[in-house]
Amino acid sequence: MTSPLTAESPARRRFLQAAALTSGGLWLGVRAGSGHAEVLAPGDLAEVARRARFSVFLAITADGVVHITGPQSEMGQGTHDGLAKILAEELEADWAQVVIHLPSADDAFRHPSTGRHRTAGSDSISSYGDVMRRAGASAREMLIAAAATRWEVPAGECVAAASSVIHTPTARRLGFGVLADAAALQTVPTEPRFKDPATYRLVGHTTPRKDAIGKVTGTAVFGIDVQLPGMLYAVLCRSPSVAGRVISFSRDAALAMPGVLDAYPISDGIAVVARTTWHAMQAARALEGHPQTLFDDRDSLGVESDGMRTRLREALAQDDRAQVARAAAGRTHDRSAHDAALRAATRRFEWTYEVPFLAHATMEPLNATARVTAEGAQVWAPTQHPDGTRDVIAQASGLPRDRCSLQVTFLGGGFGRKWETDFVRQAVEVARGRPGTPIKLTWTREQDFRHDRFRPAHMARSRVGLDAQGRILGLHTRISGISMWRYQRRAPVPGLGDPFMTSGLIGDRYAIPAPFADFVETMEPVPVGTWRSVAQSMNGFFSESTLDDIAAVSGRDPLALRLELAAGDPRAVAVLTEAAHRIGWKLDVPPHATRGGRPPSHPSGGTVGRGIALTVGFGSWCAQAVELRAVGRALHIERIVAVVDCGRVIDPGSVEAQVSGGILFGLSAAIDGGIDFADGKAKASNFDGAPLLRFSGAPPIEVHLIDSTAASGGVGEISTPGIAPALTAAIFAASGERPRRLPLVTGGYSFA
């Protein structure tokens, strides 16, 4: 495999070709000294192409500015800085002189192992960390070699520090900018020496984010901010139902509306093109209600919340349709062993749990800007999926892929929704209708809710068999719901349930005897997709709630049960133990009113309860503990503690922010999240119908990080799954009543 760092490599040529493709548009980056993201003019792009380029990830200009292009999409998670810090650490760059650029959809950015270029699964650091580390270390050695050649001294007498190379015996110093041209022509080291982590000065330390000033001042360029000369604006007129389509409309009626320049059909509706987004939105809304606009909504028949819930429950009993879940961590799910274990049980229990459909509700609605000519197609979009999006641009434009370019902008939230490519395909289809004209397509907030790729609603049934001493002999959990795998047109795995849906259905970090999990698919026309933490967002609630129910019926402390079952995983034990210590959990004090002890009273009235949950995934371990006060069904969350082991921490402040954000995201969904359907439509069409947790309702959150030298794991999703089961366990501890259906408002609970 040709090294992507070689000056003459295909990777280098592909980067320059990508730069040429965007020469008519925008280069989104950070200007040296500004500290924030802004738009570089087309003239600046020529300068970018002239830089001494060490790799697709790194270039150093004559003024000593270190330009790092991060391969991953930045949607608030901090990858923008995190990967750049890894490279800059090994390079020995002065962080103040580092400028970070957002990526284009260049195949040079594909991960060498997976062959993919996308941001998902919380794997940015784990996937690209070593790539960036090697790029920085290689460039450092190339700079040292160039300096040694100029001074005619052995390279071993030279070191790099603060964007300079220093000849140790004479203290001579040359800046990276002076050396860059010659260094970029050096032979790329095949095995560069890496720094001793004990000498790190960037990695492991919190630094102000490079994109912070631009996001605070409004100068950072998100997809919705893109501006191009002569640009027009488009909004779609669509059926409000989940699977409807427009079958007729009056173009004359559309053209008669203020500001409208054109209206024509595309695959998902009618494109209304206008002078401003506001004109386009108003016209599209009016067109939707026009008597000559007709929709075919037959495919949405039966999309009613009550009916779908009934079908979910019925599916749990359909043994003949159940598909075996993929076993996790190499464990075998042996149905015959499980059945034998349940037959031997002296006590058997069964519980059913339920989670609703959820919207992504990103702050930035879906949007993309496209320009299509006979020569090529250009797109600017906030996407998590650059390589797949570029494929879609080619398909929608009818042009060869190598004549299609994509510049990734900042994302105003992603959560899995901007992994999908439907909004980019629509923008390209709209732009094809007016060749040569850049057109920005923006979804309305109502469309963002009604045409989301919803996190599917699921039910789970857990059956457990215990012996006379309350020990687990076997556990079977079955889940029912719409398959995300099938909806994304992935080929089914013969004999296995959807891996997107079944992962973690029985926690693989627990030594549970004779486990068995399976999945019964329900067929509904509701569009579904991945949501922050994917299967764990549902299965974390199911699996951890099941453990709490087992603890209650067997007379065990929930923490003690977890520590016993997780004894073979020291990292799981460590986070559980630390979270329990931080929340004040005492194993010798019964936490549940139903175990004969009384829950402690709170000075302000009501009773106190605590709950704990474990999440393992994305290369990280996270334990969460919740303490709340209950007065009947009126609840007040006193505090939340999260303990995280994510391996080597790149930036502690960024990790703490992501863990806190993931908790609030999951908490909001657990309390009052959920999308209901009636007459084939999502009932919620804006935030008033799907409320999010407000600042005033956010409880105190403590995040504690385990010091570790293990490989870095992901943190963007690890804290989302555990908050719901920890919260419901705390409710049970305080009241003796366990909620098994989310959101909690459906059970009459309220939160102060």
DSSP string, 309-369: HHHHHHHTT-GGG-EEPPPSTT----HHHHHHHHHH-SEEEEEEEEE--B----SS--EEE
Q: Are 559 and 592 in contact (CB under 8 A)?
A: no
Residues, the chain = 752
Q: Element (H or E) spanning 180, and its range?
A: helix 176-183
> How is the chain split into domains, by residue range?
10-217, 223-298+366-442, 308-357+455-751
Residue 7 is predicted with a pLDDT of 33
Q: Do 402 and 106 contact (CB within 8 A), yes or no?
A: no
CA distance 203 to 262: 52
H/E segment holding residue 705: strand 701-705
pLDDT at 51: 59
The fold of 223-298+366-442 is Aldehyde Oxidoreductase; domain 4 (3.30.365)
Q: Do the beta carbons of residue 381 and residue 416 sit within 8 Å?
A: no
Up-side HSE of residue 306: CA atoms within 13 Å toward CB?
A: 2
Label the pairing between strands 404-408 and 377-381: parallel
pLDDT number for residue 327: 65
Report pLDDT digits (tens) over 693-734. Answer: 999 999 999 999 999 999 999 999 999 999 999 999 999 999
Directed axis angle between helix 536-554 and helix 558-565, to 10°? Answer: 110
pLDDT at 329: 60
Environment class of residue 1 by beta-carbon count within 10 Å: exposed (0-12), middle (13-18) or buried (19+)? exposed
Domain 223-298+366-442 and domain 308-357+455-751, same fold? Reply is yes
Radius of gyration of the chain (CA): 28
Q: Let me know: does 716 contact 665? Beta carbons within 8 Å.
A: no
The single-letter code of the amino acid at 74 is E
Question: Please, is 457 exposed, middle or buried when counting C-beta atoms within 10 Å of its C-beta (0-12, 13-18, 19+)?
Answer: buried
Q: Options 3.40.30.120, 3.40.50.10490, 3.90.199.10, 3.30.365.10; which CATH number does 10-217 get?
A: 3.30.365.10
Write out residues in the chain with pLDDT < 70, as ranges.
Answer: 1-51, 327-332, 489, 495, 588-598
What type of residue is 497? G
Residue 237 CA to residue 713 CA, distance in Å, equals 43
Paired strand residues for 729: none
Give per-residue pLDDT as tens, 76-106: 999 999 999 999 999 999 999 999 999 999 9
Count of CB atoms situated within 10 Å of the CB of 289: 8
In this predicted structure, what is the pLDDT of residue 672? 96
| CA separation for the pair 444, 450 (Å, rounded) | 10
The residue to which tokens 């070191």 are assigned:
159
pLDDT at 731: 98
CATH of region 308-357+455-751 = 3.30.365.10
**Angle between helical axes of 422-432 and 386-397 (0-180°, round to 10):** 30
